[in-house]
Structure 1
């Protein structure tokens, strides 16, 4: 039964998807941020046309979110003049190497989709046949994917979360594997990224880049490796650009406070400015002033739903906007070695996280379980 399920067409996952927001690869980051703000999506798709595809057609070459730009601002060449980074093409932000977005035929099997994910894909872009669009829209509320017309074709992209959720709905087909412990299934990833709570969070920039690629998180721990919280790409994606300044100025513990829901406390904002001045990062300090002033003015005005800085750059934080995502918190979702696979799947999907931390009873971090790790277990059923 499991093999038959895995051989089903991936188009079955593409029901009821909302419109996909897209930008051209040569668009400026400012344009991409504007598209992101107005779409209320967490990511926008990035497309290359002409020579980028067969016969001059267009292909999706990646995706963009605020977390990408925050880390881009933290590059050494952008710290002195951060406002120039807004003028860079969005393609400069895309990760190099293996593509994280892959095109897939709608008649491809779920097994093929999982193989792409295990090869590093975060999103699968699939052309949708018109007769599928008219089917029941029962996945619309839960989907983290989207459809749009491009090249005269409607597309849908699927995330790792979509695939795991789809499998959970038919998890009985894989019995008894879902009830086995994650320890017995050997899916606990021990190659984890940790940063001490009292260390400058800028020392973990390499970890944040890796977390974006691997769809995981960075653990914040005490001096005995006990878990305090996490900093995840989904959390950074819900922040505004001033998070880049906070990363360059704060400890890991202070950054968790800065990025938690509700916005940073004023004393922490002032601490960031002071630290930036000490490090002679006047450009980042100006960025803080610019966007904080924008946030204050937009909260007092209902004329413009989407915020812009005083220099005209689109701001990720706007007092008149209800733009928010479930990932904006630093609290980590945890389980134990003895947790069942299905229990961890439910935890991850309920909290909309791609990484569940595995802890001992004393809160010492053992490792984590990711969507990719879960899918690897179900993929193995095809070989048995």
Structure 2
């Protein structure tokens, strides 16, 4: 029954209600991509390689060294994605800390080169959910799917014979959305009975607990976790902040950092892992922590990074002043905005925890409710045991349907 369910469902079923992708061209700078990311209000922005007439449904040809045609490819193609974590890790590089403004003028291709191969892959809407699942388990993070909408048809008419602007969501005569691990897990949860009784088994009995976890001690410099933060973004996991007894204190999560701003690079450079948790908390950093970052930047002679911090603080203050003129009815929602002024439904530094005896379906619901891609596994005394990820969940459902390729 499970294999029939995955074979008979098309990925277009997961696209219903999905908004078209917001995007930037591959030729933009990091600063331009950062600006687009902030305006989008989303955690990621897609990056596209397009010809000038990118609204067209025509195709371009690729050639080998002998000028022989080897494949036809769309005139527009999504080649990657960028998020705030990418920018933060890029600015934290030693050569960029000294001159972050110069680093922001670099091409985003420098960031995309660090992305895992095939992290973004195009897939036709009539492809089966089973095929999509195999691609995801093969390392694809985002499946790019063409969608048809009223706006798409109107856009085709509007830009017929003209180059569509980058503000348009039209590529190859179509609009696109993308599917993530979270989307697939949520879709499977809605039909969880198909996989019965496996979802009621404990995560321990299903051998789902990954013990190869990324940790940093509470008192260690946050910068010591930089490589782990980059790895957690690729693996769609998280970095645990622990105490001397291996108890979980909090986490440095890509889903949390995604709704911060670029000044977190300064915080990672100057604060301990424990202090960083407070800095990236949903309420925003305290003035004492911000002042501590300023002081330590001065001690490290990182004046340019200090200038970036001041510039972003000024920009945030102006945004706050503008929002203060709005109705007081919005005050209750203001806590959901961090220093960047961007809405974050999932921005938090406390970790979501389950237990080895938790059922698979319970952990699925927990992860989806908190909009996180992983849940920490701990004993009753909060001693850290391991982690359960969306990928681990999907492996179980794929195995039910006949094993992992």
TM-score normalized with structure 1 length: 0.88
Aligned to 1:144: none
Does residue 107 of the first structure (1) align with residue 135 of the second (2)? no
Provide closer, same or farther for how the CA distance between residues 281 and 64 of structure 1 changes in structure 2, counting only shifts above 3 A. Answer: same
Aligned equivalent of 1:287, options 304, 308, 314: 308
Residues 235-314 of structure 1: matches in 2 within 5 Å?
A: 235-301=256-322
Kindly provide the CA deviation profile for residues 90-119 of structure 1, in whole angstroms up to 9, marking residues without a partner as x. Answer: 222123442211111212111111111111
Asked if the contact 1:52–1:58 (Cα under 8 Å) also holds between the matched residues in 2, the reply is: no
Q: Which residue is equivalent to 1:23?
A: 24
Equivalent residue of 1:383, what SS?
coil
Instruction: Determine which of 397, 402, 405 is the counterpart of 1:378.
Output: 397
Q: Give the corresponding residue for 2:146.
A: 127
TM-score by length of 2: 0.84
Q: Secondary structure of the residue that 1:290 maps to in structure 2?
A: helix
Displacement, 1:251? 0.4
Structure 1 residue 299: Cα displacement: 2.3
> C-alpha separation between the residues in 2 aligned to 1:249 and 1:87?
24
2:110 corresponds in structure 1 to 92
Q: Distance in 1 between matches of 2:322 and 2:348?
A: 27
Aligned match of 2:98: 80
Is the Cα contact below 8 Å between 2:6 and 2:128 reproduced in 1?
Answer: yes
Question: How much has 1:326 moved relative to structure 2?
Answer: 1.9
Shift of 1:34: 2.0
Question: Unmatched 5+ residue regions in structure 1?
Answer: 135-146, 306-315
How many residues in Structure 1 have an aligned counterpart in Structure 2?
Answer: 359
* Deviations 1:122-173, CA, capped at 9 Å, x for gaps: 1110123559x99xxxxxxxxxxxx942111121211110000000000000
SS in 2 for 1:187: coil
Contact conserved, 2:91 with 2:103, CA < 8 A, in 1? Answer: yes
Bigger mean CA offset, 215-224 vs 285-294: 285-294
The one-character-per-residue Cα deviations of 1:171-217 (angstroms, maximum 9, x if unpaired) are 00000110000001111111100000000010010000000100010
Q: 1:326 to 1:219 in 2, by over 3 A?
A: same
- In 2, Cα distance between the equivalents of 1:300 and 1:111? 50
5+ unaligned residues in a row in structure 2: which ranges?
52-59, 63-71, 154-167, 327-336
What is the CA RMSD across the aligned residues, in angstroms?
A: 2.4
Deviations 1:348-377 (A, max 9, x none): 000000010000111111110000000000
Bigger Rg over Cα: 2
Closer, same or farther: CA 260–43 of 1 in aligned 2, 3 Å: same
Q: Which residue of the partner structure matches residue 49 of structure 2?
A: 48
Q: The residue matched to 2:140 in structure 1 has which SS?
A: coil
- Which of 316, 329, 333 aligns to 2:352? It is 333
Residue of structure 1 equivalent to 2:157? none
Of residues 180-189 and 99-108 in structure 1, the stretch that sits farther from structure 2 once superposed is 99-108
Counterpart among 228, 239, 247 of residue 226 in structure 1: 247
Q: Identify the range of structure 1 (81-90 vs 230-239) with the bigger mean alpha-carbon deviation.
A: 81-90
Whole-angstrom distance in 2 between the partners of 1:52 and 1:363: 56
Tell me the equivalent position of 2:84.
Answer: 66
Rounded Cα–Cα distance in structure 2 between residues aligned with 1:195 and 1:303: 38
What SS does the corresponding residue of 1:85 show, helix, strand or coil? helix
